[in-house]
Amino acid sequence: MKTAEKNDEKTVRVTHQLGSMQRTGKGNPHFLLTNKKGNYISFGSPNVSDFQGIFIFDSSNNGLFKTVQNITLAKSPTSIKNYCNWVERGTGKTRERFYLSSNALIYEIENYTGAVTITLDSKKLYDDNPQGRIYEHYKGPAIGVGKAHKVLYKKYADDTQDYIQYERHILIAAVSLNGKKPTIKKIDTWRPTNYPYDQRRGMTGERHIYDAVSIQIDSPSRIIITSSHNPEKAEEKLSYVLEHQDAVINAIQKYPGQRLAWAGKDLELALATNALDALVTKLKDDRRGIFAGLPWFFQYWMRDEAICLKAILLQGQYGLLKEVIMRWLPDIAGGGRGALSGKEGAIGLRTADGPGLIALRTTELLRTLQKRGELNHYFSKEELIQLGEAFRKYLEQLTYQHGLVTNAHEETWMDTGPDGDGRAGARIEIQACTLAIHDLLMLLADLFHDGPELKEQKKVREDLLTATKEWFFDKRGFLLDGFHDDGTSDHCVRPNIFLAWYIYPDLLSREEWTRAFLNALPALWQEWGAITSIAHDDSSYQKTHTGCDNKSYHHGDSWMFINNIVAMALFLTDPHRFHDYIDALTRSATDDLLFKGFIGHASEISDAEAQNPAGCWAQAWSAATLIELLHMMRRE
């Protein structure tokens, strides 16, 4: 299998441990932990991105605030062990453990004598202005026999310090577990750093960071770090964790065993489940949903959440599934103009596929609840009526050409690319999405014993099904990606035919799908076990990820969620004929989960020519579709 190491750092011994299950290999030294409230920590050896450190979710502006840049010892770690909800790093006999609670980072260290350096880089996530950055040191609140160390960060508009933009109170406490108390000394030193991963993405990747304090360790110890814009809140957080630190750690350690039990003895399935669960978030305004990805997709996206909901359904989390569906109904009724869910409602570009994907998940949920005899427990009659009204209003706003549903520029999931390549027109997966909506409305009509509505939805569905097959599927067995908005055929090969299968497998027969897949695979296949986002012979094809300019994003980059969907499509269509493809796709996906990007997480994308994770290293729909794939294959 062809792979590439471009992360500019050494690899380490990586172990994944869950109960008696264990997997060990050579991999990245980077990890990410969340507290399911919007906060996350991520550290490497060294950090390769400005998006690594300690980040706090700010509900006032739906953004992230960075506090700590890194926690380092004199020697770099040579091993890392992932326990799903906490991480242990090793250097010789030294052990570092990282726990992220709802209030603080708890850092535990043993078998070590020497200094622990706490480096800060406090800022709003995208505030890269180097001017007006001031750190002030104070003695913090009393904690038991000693005092915490307090650092007040002040961010001014510029170096004149005439106008303060924001500030942050950071508290650092160190306690011994069975010996001499650690001592905290101020360093107060600025130094430059660079981030090779960010530079590879086309960002500046250079910044000055602040070595704040050195903590001398002579016995097993814990360092607790809290922060807030409010000094009293920072102290409250610190006081609580110090008083209950053992209980907090025990709760964190027990969580994976309880939450991941459904995966049984399948470690990869458990890890994928944990990766998705880490992104299931409840914000302070009680909006519960699934972050699209970390570090930077810390939002709820209709399309992404909808893709993820099948994995949520498989785990029996029906309440969460319903909550996400109902949250999106006003935006679906408004024509799908809500790709991104914000605090004050949905914002962003119109999503042409999001409503259909939500409809698909709604149908799956309703049918599951029907079989279990629990439909009335989860949905009232009024809520079922709301579902029907929202999707009927959405259908009223669709546009058609030659009996096919059309979308505007950059409204599908492939929403970047060269000028004029926004896939405006009639697209194969959008027809599948619309068919899924009609299926949902048929189910609702059946539930309400509405014969005329059921008959009408059947007719409209059959008309669209017939038109789609006539226009998109030719006698040679090729399934087109779509038609341009001027009505001409788009013969470019993209992986959207697999997405169409995922959404509406009844579009073609099994034999027809087999022919379509056989015709598409040679143009998209990569030997390392992946599908490219556009045919290799297309003039816009990029073999490596080009970063923030998006040239490669939908024109070469391999998307892990698509790879998983392709594997599912091939597995359910003809597992014997497509065995080698399925095996390669599954191996590359699990290798990514185990040893690439953030260990234990599923990456967003990879270079096309070789497996090299890019984009967000913890992507929800990559984890969710891997859950589906592994569950499907293990079940069979």
Q: What is the pLDDT of residues 67-122, one digit of tens each?
A: 999 999 999 999 999 999 999 999 999 999 999 999 999 999 999 999 999 999 99
Helix (H, G, I), strand (E, B) or coil at 268: helix
Q: Average pLDDT of the chain?
A: 94
Asked if pLDDT for residue 35 goes beyond 60, the answer is: yes
We find that the CATH architecture of domain 260-635 is Alpha/alpha barrel (1.50)
Give the C-alpha separation, 485 to 503, whole Å. 23
How far apart CA 284 and CA 102 sit, in angstroms, is 12
Exposure letters 526-549 (e unless 16+ CB within 10 A, then b): bebbbbbbbbbebeeebebbbbee
For the cut 50, the answer to whether the pLDDT of residue 2 exceeds it is no
Q: Identify the pLDDT of residue 1.
A: 40
For residue 187, the one-letter residue type is I
Q: pLDDT confidence of 40, banded at 50, 70, 90?
A: very high
**First and final C-alpha spacing in the chain:** 26
Tell which residue, 565, 459, 586, 564, has the closest CA to residue 505.
565
Residue 634: pLDDT band (50, 70, 90) is confident
Query: Of the CATH numbers 1.10.3470, 1.10.287, 2.70.98, 3.30.930, which one belongs to the domain with range 12-257?
Result: 2.70.98
Assign 544 a pLDDT band (cuts: 50, 70, 90).
very high
* Confidence tier at 338 by pLDDT (50, 70, 90): low
Q: How far apart are CA 331 and CA 329, in angstroms?
A: 5
Which pair of structure tokens corresponds to residue 592? 């990514």
Helices marked H in 495-578 — which ranges?
496-503, 510-524, 560-573
Q: Which residues of 275-292 are buried (b: 16+ CB within 10 A; e: fewer)?
A: bbbbbbbebeeebebbbb
CA 162 to chain CA mean position, Å: 40
Question: What's the burial of 49, exposed, middle or buried (CB within 10 Å: 0-12/13-18/19+)?
Answer: buried
Residues 6+ apart with CB under 8 A from 92: 75, 78, 111
pLDDT at 4: 41
Res. 3: pLDDT tops 50 = no
Confidence of residue 179 (pLDDT cuts 50, 70, 90): confident
| Residue 343's pLDDT band (cuts 50, 70, 90) | very low
Q: Supply 325's token pair.
A: 């569906």
Residue 144 has a pLDDT of 58
pLDDT of residue 350: 86
Q: How do residues 367-405 score in pLDDT, each as one tens digit?
A: 999 999 999 999 999 999 999 999 999 999 999 999 999
Task: Name the residue ranges covered by the structural domains of the chain.
Answer: 12-257, 260-635
The partner residues of 485 in beta bridges, in order of sequence, read none
Q: Could you identify the residue written with the tokens 């299998």?
A: 1
Confidence category of residue 534, pLDDT binned at 50, 70, 90? very high
- The pLDDT tens digits of the residues spanning 291-335 come to 999 999 999 999 999 999 999 999 999 999 999 999 999 999 998
- Residue 250 and residue 271: Cα distance in Å, rounded? 20
Phi first, then psi, for residue 284 (nearest 5°) are -65, -25
Q: Give pLDDT, residue 284.
A: 80
> What average pLDDT score do residues 528-557 get?
95
pLDDT value of residue 146: 63
